[in-house]
Structure 1
Amino acid sequence: MDRLVDVLLEVDVNGDEVAARSALALVAAAPGLVVRLDEHARSAPWYGRHREPAWRRIAERASAMSSGPVVMALASMHGDGRVRERAVAAMIARPYAEVMPFLVVRAADWVAPVRDRARAGIALLLGDDADVYLPAVLPMALRLAARARAGFVVAQARVAVLAATEQSWRGLLASVGRRERRFVLDTVLAGGGLRMPELVTLAESDPDVRVRARAAEAACRDSVWTCRHDVLRRLARSARAEVRVVALTGLVRAGRDADVAGHLDDGAPLVRAVARDAARRLGRDAREHYRAGVDADEPVVGAIAGLAETGSVADAPRLLRLLGHEKPKVRAQAVRGLRLLDAVVVGELMALVRDPSPAVVREVTLALRPVAGALPPALPWELLRDGRVELRRAGYKLLRGRGAGVELRAALILAADRDRRMAERGKSDATRLARDTASTTWRRSPLPELRVTEAERVELLALADRAAVMLGDETSRQLAGWIADSHPVE
């Protein structure tokens, strides 16, 4: 933070307003950085080798008539309220979009004169030219929304959105971040500013799940009231599950159970649940429907999932038959169904533990973890050293919960993995095990005991030495001491 202040001051010294505003734009683009800089400006302001001269220069240069936007923004964070108030007045007199986040912070200031002047300036600027200032105000206002005294700017932003033209808030929806887009959408929906075609477009194509769900909810509610069943059917065919379930709920309220029951084989669990409820009202047996879908020549993946949700152990043979199916999706769903029905057959699933499909391997691993003790002892270790990353991940998961010695050995092997994410996982678990061995004054639980044979102890020391670069000196030292102090077993 000190270095950032120095760099910003160097930019301001050159007197280039374009460069100064560009530098401020980089800082203002990250609301969290502005907040951190503001907190840093007041944390022990006279402590450190160069903090006092920097903030003294800021206060002196802020009083000059020719001070630039960078100095004004930094001065608005000064520990002296009079300096902050002068900086706020200067930023309002020469408003730039780049300084608006700093002005928003001061609108929640603990000193009333500073706070009141900042609030008045923001209200006037948003009222005069919301198209320019609102995109700069909104991210910081929402970032500070949970703070005391921060509600004023959020309310002003909401008023500005409600008063904006359709073209203005459309531009906001297309340009601002996810949190801001959600705020704009909720505000516009509250004001009734979106028409049905726009709601449908947002529900079908927006990249944010919350925006899609809110738009779909508004569209479906209006469609139910106006009997626009065609819109409900269109949204029920959406590729997004959160949109489909809202549309089907609308069809249920419109009394169109027959349309809803046609989604029994949907890929989303909540959609299937709504469809089953509609089928029940129509007198249809959803379980028999799923059994027929599973027994078909070309099994339906949604029917396999539905049978797992409604069936029993008696349906396990139907799913076991699908473990050799040519499609990976069918095999993976069959394994998942057996797990949900509590009908796992270890011998059948072991044949799929090296399946070519990573999705099948994941499902098999989840199914075998509760019965990992029934597996051949060498299998998880073989998987942990396999060339395929998904098999190494499976082997590691199957070794979890088998005692400190097994978990430590597996974590040390994984810490040297060539896959970065796997190595980070091994490092994290090895570090956790090392920290658990530390004796502290507040610890009440017993220290974990490492019981290994002499050969296993030698292997653990070799693995810890190989992973030392990844683990760091402190963790390696803790592990070496823990392994050295372990009690050998016969």
Structure 2
Amino acid sequence: MIGSRRVTGDRPPSPVGEDGLLGSVRVAVDEARTGRWEALNRLVEVLLEVDAVGDEEAAWLALALVAGRPELVVRLDEHARSALWRGEYQEPALWRVSARLSGDLPGPVATVLASMHGDGRIRERAVSTMTGRPRAEAMPFLVLRTVDWVKPVRDQARAGLAMLLADDPAVHLPAVVPVVLRLEARLRAGFAVAQVRAAVFAATEQVWRGLLDSGGRRQRRFVFDIVLAQGGLRLSDLVAIAESDPDVRVRARAAEAACREAVWTRRLDALKRLARSARAEVRVVALTGLVRAGQDAEVAAYLDDDAPLVRAVARDAARRLGTDAREHYRSAVGTGEPASGAIAGLAEIGSVADAPLLQRLLGHGQARLRAQAVRGLRLLDAVGVGEVAALLRDPSPAVVREVTAALRPVAGALPPALAWELLRDGRVELRRAGYRLLRGRGVGVELRAALILAVDADPRLAERGTADATRVTRDAARTAGHRAPQPPLRVTGTEHAELVTLAARAAAALGAETSQRLTGWLTSSRPGG
């Protein structure tokens, strides 16, 4: 097992292995990532226990568990600086760290923890030890000292960081970049950021590709921007990144660079390939490139695209070709199976006169076309309350969402009981629709609907209802607190009794304070009281 010694004879097994102290370190690290100062103290104690065993490689393994989580490294340093291992751990931890560092060969854990010590002289000795015996596991802690508030400590750490990044970037860059990005906004972080940027700029392709393939979104963006600026990516690389990268910003920047190069070099094949991308932000850049290359006919073929920006670029190209985009959309929507992009396009540039074309699609067999037709009628300001309201119980949640959005401005024209019936329906999307249709109907209606929703079986709806009921109640209490009369609830006796019942049922969800305020408000607002 990693970190354990071979058992011979009656010698007991090592306490450092995965089932021993290293296992304890893993648990302590997980707890310290989100825990309070007690959890950080516990992590320090467990690390010191590993150090006390005297197994250097096991100590480095333990530190690697901490170093692999840059947010924890920063938290640990901030904790040490604000209240160094406070409580019952303070005296023993401080004594052990400083005492071990003064020895001939301090352990890795003692050295790293000493680099966060409150005494600048101890931090300086720790930095000297870390740079003299460099390990990737210690690099995140060394980076912290490059922003130290004591100049000698800071200067020594910066010199060590620059030297180590220049000597072996393949080993040290992966350990340094995540922490440097965490410190990027700090006052003295400019040196470390500049050193890392220079190291990435000078790194081999194998090194920077490794950084691109590992780390989080922020690291990928940082490294990609540097590599892109130095021209380290070929057109084929840029096309591949634009098509497959999980981050929208990286995809967009790669697409821009790829299309720019393709236009300069007349690589129309690359532009056409990117124009077929599943990502709208990539397609629109590629089509813009095709426009610059004089390929208006190629671009105009995207009039029915699902993305609004793509349709806009295509319409501009169609205009230059003399094509009437509105007539194109009218013809396309008039077919039996129109593209959803054609319906959206007609809504964007059509008029109320085009409403019959969309109304015909309200009964279409495909839910996405019914939803797009409702959306189009809303954009054309041509919503017929009766025909659209008939789709409120459509089997498709997407259609229900569009119908609700279309009916909200004209909710007053709906049957009074309809929204309340929806609010108590068995389908989640119908309850959400009923709640949205009841918004803006007055304080009494909003409070009643929120109290009903606060005990909903769906957690998200219940959270929304609880938040709104709390807001309405606190607004009323705040008015009373400013010596203005508390707003009365303009409700009938029956409605008031229902509010009292609903408030009692939702008391647990609202919490004691809000429930007490609401009860007081309802009592003072009793009709005829």
Classify the TM-score, shorter chain: over 0.9
Structure 1 regions of 5+ residues with no counterpart?
Answer: none
- Whole-angstrom distance in 2 between the partners of 1:449 and 1:45: 55
Match of 1:391 in 2: 430
**What residue in structure 2 maps to residue 180 of structure 1?**
219
- Residue by residue over 1:280-333, the C-alpha shift from the partner in whole angstroms, topping out at 9 and shown as x without a partner, is 111111111111111012112111000111011111111111100000110010
What is the TM-score with the length of structure 1 in the denominator? Answer: 0.93
Q: In the alignment, residue 229 of structure 1 is paired with which amino acid?
A: L
Cα distance in 1 between the residues matched to 2:68 and 2:487: 47
Corresponding position of 1:14: 50
Structure 1 residues 324 and 433: alpha-carbon distance in aligned structure 2, compared to 1, 3 A threshold: same
Gaps of 5+ in 2: 1-36
Letter in 1 for 2:456: D
Which amino acid in the other structure matches residue 80 of structure 1? D
Question: What is the aligned-residue RMSD (CA, Å)?
Answer: 2.4
Of stretches 216-225 and 422-431 in structure 1, the one that deviates more from structure 2 is 422-431
Are 2:65 and 1:50 equivalent residues in the alignment?
no
- CA separation in 1, counterparts of 2:448 and 2:385? 25
Contact 2:479–2:487 under 8 Å retained in 1: no
**1:75 matched residue in structure 2:** 114
State the partner residue of 2:474: 435
Aligned partners of 2:235 and 2:258 also within 8 Å: yes
The structure that has the greater radius of gyration is: 2
Listed as ranges, the matches of 1:319-398 within 5 Å are 319-398=358-437
Q: Please list the CA deviations of residues 424-453 of structure 1 after superposition, one character each: whole Å capped at 9, or x if unmatched.
A: 222222232333234499969976543333
Give the aligned length. Answer: 489
Contact 1:452 1:488 in 2 (8 A): yes
Number of the residue aligned with 1:90: 129
Structure 1 residues 57, 413: closer, same or farther in 2, change over 3 A? Answer: farther
Correspondence list, 1:195-214, <5 A: 195-214=234-253
Residues 439 and 81 of structure 1: CA distance in aligned 2, closer, same or farther (over 3 Å): farther
TM-score (normalised: structure 2): 0.86
- Name which of 480, 483, 494 aligns with 1:455: 494
Question: What is the match of residue 160 of structure 1?
Answer: 199
* Contact 2:101–2:111 (Cα < 8 Å) also in 1: no
Change (3 A) 1:476 1:71: farther
Report the Cα offset of residue 351 of structure 1. Answer: 0.6
SS in structure 2 of the partner of residue 50 of structure 1: helix
Aligned pairs for 1:30-429 within 5 A: 30-43=69-82, 49-50=87-88, 52-53=90-91, 56-57=94-95, 59-61=97-99, 63-65=101-103, 66-429=105-468
1:252 positional shift: 0.7
State the SS of the aligned residue for 1:267: coil
Identity of aligned residues (%): 69
Q: CA contact under 8 A between 1:8 and 1:23: conserved in structure 2?
A: no
Give a deviation string over 1:137-175, Cα, whole Å, max 9, x none: 111211221221112111111111111111111111111
Q: How far apart in 2 are the matches of 1:327 and 1:419?
A: 28
Q: CA deviation at 1:278?
A: 0.7
Q: How many Å apart are 1:100 and its aligned residue? A: 2.3
1:188-224: CA deviations, max 9, x gaps? Answer: 1111111111111111111111111111111100000
In the aligned structure 1, how far is the partner of 2:435 from the partner of 2:406? 14
Q: Of 38, 41, 47, which aligns to 1:2?
A: 38
Contact 2:98 2:122 in 1 (8 A): no
CA–CA distance in 2 between the matches of 1:489 and 1:102? 70
Amino acid at match of 1:53: E
